[in-house]
Structure 1
């Protein structure tokens, strides 16, 4: 293999690679480099066992095509800060101690011991793929909106990701749920939480096209490709949980006014409970930190935000961290339905295109 590419382009391709810096399987510390003459390009492929990322770089010159498995961290260190053309070539025979990849630019020369391309792990098989008709960027925004509610380190592994079903994009962890609607028709699949960041980035790329099967989801785009395996599970009955009650008191609020107040109150909530009192009166949302009963009726701290509410709004105690996550996801104006201090609190934007369900703290 002998290929000349732009050093900055190679550095960008390696920046978010999936290779692990330290792994019990040494091969996952490497990337696969494939140079082709027609078209003249270099493909950089990385895998971590459940994900696969491929970035395509246009080559300035390919004197000899070929492939090699190269240590990702060392190659990334070698190319960092370089600008202009740089040449990647292989020297020696695969399987020998002298087999290496050489990055050279002028008098700069970096030798990296390498492995044969044949031993690089195979990627996750797609199986029989389906191609939904959708706007990739709209799906990316929907996933980014609800992902905060996905469970972390939960024994109910079906909750460890974002679920797609028909036009619903859902995340839940047993204490909260977020559901966004997209114009698409998915068969039920669940994307692992660890794959969401890379999937969103791929969907936002120019020319993104998505396909999925029962076992994997893949996005191809102008700059390469991304694939992730799916969770093999049956998701919870989220439609029953996100049902909006017919009775309750509605209030109109703005997340941009509430988020700063929550930041100021964060240091005052009780450790372990994050208990936040929420009360609307005279078109004003009062947020109180701490258990009022332990401070002679006065909370440790209070803050406020404007609200519009025409009825008596029951006081409810919430987890401050959960409310804060929802506010960062909503960002603007929303409706809050309070159907009782012990009932699920339902928040939505617009005409219920995005619905958030938060469980209160029972007093």
Structure 2
């Protein structure tokens, strides 16, 4: 194999694929990126056996061929080369090493044979549909913060994606919860998604997707089966296993009878929560919301360091109420809002609270209270 490629093109592709490779691997081949040169392109592929990313990039191929080299090492080398440089990749005749040459710099990397590289066999996909990257980004951004990191409840370690019939027609819905808070977002279901199975997309896959869908003009092709999902985003192909588990019936925890309505200005509310929570212990981070007509008082007590209070003028006309929340969870939710105002719907101090963004009715959030 002998290829010449622009540094910027190689760096962009390596940036997409090398993130999948774990820093520590007991299987040496999983530390490597597969390079395959053919025709006028260089294909790069990396995998961790659950997630696979492939990208093709334009290159001047003098001699077709393929090999695998350490992914993070190659990425670091290319990243440190000067802007505008050309990079030549050439595999030695014995196949045991690959030269990386640019200007006066020359590196030699150990190779492992392509035959050892695992292939994440995709199988057949039962449903295929296209989604604007802005819609996919919205579904991810509005829900990913609520994904659980608790490995014992592995079925919560991802975003549950499914279709559901609503008043306005069929919706494609994303839901994430960690048992303390729940986030739900909807977009109009694209053609081809009807009847797709409910799937749980793993946290790592969600994180990679979030980085790939930052171009608002892109259209994303999504292919779904019972066990795998594949996204085609421009020249990038991302294939992932799905979490094999049953997502809980999230509809049961979304309250319907909450009648005490609080309207707050998002930015001042978030800033006030952030200020008073400075004094809270990192572990608890409980902030008390005391509601009276037109007034919200935020209070944090920490027996080790002191206390803090702050008052805000709000829209509230119901009976007085005191309720406590984890400050971090409040800030996570308000960070999702695109509008200036948020609405909180309360029932009582011990019941789940419903939170909505006034400017965007496609997302809603549920927050479990804390004792304070």
TM-score in terms of structure 1 length:
0.90
Distance between the aligned counterparts of 2:326 and 2:139, measured in 1?
Answer: 24
Distance between the aligned counterparts of 1:253 and 1:178, measured in 2?
Answer: 19
Instruction: Return closer, same or farther for 1:306/1:32 CA change in 2, 3 Å cut-off.
Output: farther
1:176 maps to 181
1:50 maps to 50
Distance between the aligned counterparts of 2:269 and 2:49, measured in 1?
Answer: 41
1:311 maps to 318
2:36 maps to 34
Corresponding residue SS for 1:300: strand
Number of residues of Structure 1 aligned to a counterpart in Structure 2 = 350
Structure 1 residues 53-111: Cα deviation after superposition (integer angstroms, max 9, x where no partner): 1222111x2111111111112212322232322111111224xxxx2111112332111
Distance between the aligned counterparts of 2:121 and 2:182, measured in 1?
Answer: 30
2:245 to 233, 249, 253: 233
Structure 1 residues 157-210: Cα deviation after superposition (integer angstroms, max 9, x where no partner): 111111012122100111111111111244300011121111223344534211
2:344 maps to 336
1:263 maps to 274
Distance between the aligned counterparts of 1:89 and 1:281, measured in 2?
Answer: 72
Deviation >4 Å, runs of 4+: none
Distance between the aligned counterparts of 1:313 and 1:42, measured in 2?
Answer: 66
Q: Is contact 2:333–2:365 with CA below 8 Å preserved after alignment?
A: yes
Q: Give ranges in structure 1 of 5+ residues lacking alignment.
A: none
Distance between the aligned counterparts of 2:256 and 2:151, measured in 1?
Answer: 26
Q: Give ranges in structure 2 of 5+ residues lacking alignment.
A: 164-171
1:200 maps to 210
Corresponding residue SS for 1:132: strand
Q: Is contact 1:69–1:116 with CA below 8 Å preserved after alignment?
A: yes
- Aligned-CA RMSD value: 2.1
2:62 maps to 63
User: Does 2:30 match 1:22?
Assistant: no
Instruction: Return closer, same or farther for 1:33/1:155 CA change in 2, 3 Å cut-off.
Output: same
User: Does 2:134 match 1:137?
Assistant: yes
Structure 1 residues 88-141: Cα deviation after superposition (integer angstroms, max 9, x where no partner): 1111224xxxx2111112332111110111111112424334113533321221
2:234 to 198, 222, 225: 222
1:13 maps to 13
How far off its partner does 1:344 sit?
0.6
Q: Is contact 2:288–2:325 with CA below 8 Å preserved after alignment?
A: yes
Distance between the aligned counterparts of 2:177 and 2:212, measured in 1?
Answer: 23
1:81 maps to 80
Corresponding residue SS for 1:233: coil
User: Does 2:224 match 1:212?
Assistant: yes
Q: Is contact 1:88–1:101 with CA below 8 Å preserved after alignment?
A: yes
Q: Is contact 2:85–2:103 with CA below 8 Å preserved after alignment?
A: no
Distance between the aligned counterparts of 2:278 and 2:114, measured in 1?
Answer: 53
Q: Is contact 2:122–2:239 with CA below 8 Å preserved after alignment?
A: no
How far off its partner does 1:282 sit?
4.2
Instruction: Return closer, same or farther for 1:46/1:341 CA change in 2, 3 Å cut-off.
Output: same
Distance between the aligned counterparts of 1:119 and 1:135, measured in 2?
Answer: 36
TM-score in terms of structure 2 length:
0.88
2:119 maps to 122
Structure 1 residues 191-239: Cα deviation after superposition (integer angstroms, max 9, x where no partner): 1112111122334453421111111111112222111111011110001
Corresponding residue SS for 1:181: strand
Corresponding residue SS for 2:128: coil
User: Does 2:338 match 1:361?
Assistant: no
Q: Is contact 1:242–1:355 with CA below 8 Å preserved after alignment?
A: no
